[in-house]
Structure 1
Amino acid sequence: MTLNDQTHIRLALRNRLLRLLRDPANIPIGENLGALVDATVAASDLNRNVRQAADALHSAIFAYLPLRQQHKLLDRWKDRGTRGAMARWLKASKECPSLFEASVALSYWRASGDVRAAKSLANQATVHELADILDELVSTCAEGWIISKAVVRVGGADGLTWEKIHENHPATYLYLCARTHRSVSDDDAFELACKCSDIDLKGNRGLAIWSIGQMRMFDVLDRINAVTEMLQQRDMAEMRARLSI
């Protein structure tokens, strides 16, 4: 097999290699991976047309490589710094958590806004590292589920950070109130739920209503039910505006 082979041939052979590597009896094959990586790295340096194929191979076998070559590949992807290369860096450091570097993920996230990097920070950074960037994550990240993961792992947030979540991520705020037993008034819960949209696939209002139910705020659920038609009309108007109908 060469990196210039047709895609279906490379995929078939790569899958065969992975099946062999999963069998502990095939230790000699694993020992030869180092030579394979060195050869394909050299080939991709000489011919950029095969770089994507080499990267895909390296990413697939990363977990089976010696530590020295894992570091070598991580450094190559980090130094390249493109979205594709960093996607492989993030995947590899997820497969091998001991190789994760929060500083690398943070620098890449700040430069690119790539939600995959924010996700890796929320899941893999230490609690201390996450606490240091929590306010920045809340202020910048649009993904409420990433914010909620970070807040739960840290064990809470300061007052200003809670205010930002309350203002910009109402469904996430209610979810966190349910998860962390943070008190919220009936009027506030109702207003936050009504503030949520229900036209996105993420179902923000659905999450808000679920959270209110988990907190057993049944009077609030009744109030939301009473204005359901109005909320649906508002959702439709927002959808038309987005589609310029």
Structure 2
Amino acid sequence: MSPQMIDRLIGAFLDTLLMVSASAGIALLAGIPLAVFLVTSGPGGFFPAPRLNRALGALVNGFRAVPFIVLLVALIPFTRLVTGTTIGVWAAVVPLSISATPFFARIAEVSLREVDPGLVEAAQSIGASRWHIVRHVLLPEALPGIIGGFTITVVSMIGASAMAGAVGAGGLGDVAIRYGYQRFDTTVMVAVIVILVALVSVVQVTGDRAVRRLRAR
């Protein structure tokens, strides 16, 4: 493999890291509040709002049902409005974030619903406010599941980022298509696959260790 191609792979790897990191940060910041709202606004929740809960739940399910490649194309006008372009790393962050947020929110919602109701009742019995219960009971108790779900989300986003690269977003997917597939260069394809597998493995191992430490506490 030529030095130029090695430089391209390094640059594409950094682009993928930036793409996934920015999108994951947005999904984390938006997904947890969304999950909390879905839990607390439902039947028996702290802030019952059944109509809004159903509407938001339907919206989340709708985005989750759309394949990423279709969502990527459908959001082109919105992506251009937000970033001023439809190609490059930051243009890919928009559809990646919108795709990952509802996915992560549903996983976080499941973790929040699995918190022992006895803990919530104990907090209510000593006069804790609803927001206090959310902040100091629900979120801490659900944290291992939330971290595990976030790990799964990031792994999915790595695969989606490679798919986005195929339509001009840059990153490893772009290198694999342009310099591997279109030029019939198996070495480049194998190199991209190895890098992606290594990246996914690092993310998964890191997430699993974090979950084990939180559960041990």
TM-score (norm 2): 0.26
Whose relative contact order is higher, 1 or 2, with alpha carbons under 8 Å and at least 6 apart? Answer: 2
Tell which structure's C-alpha radius of gyration is larger: 1
Larger helix proportion of the pair:
2
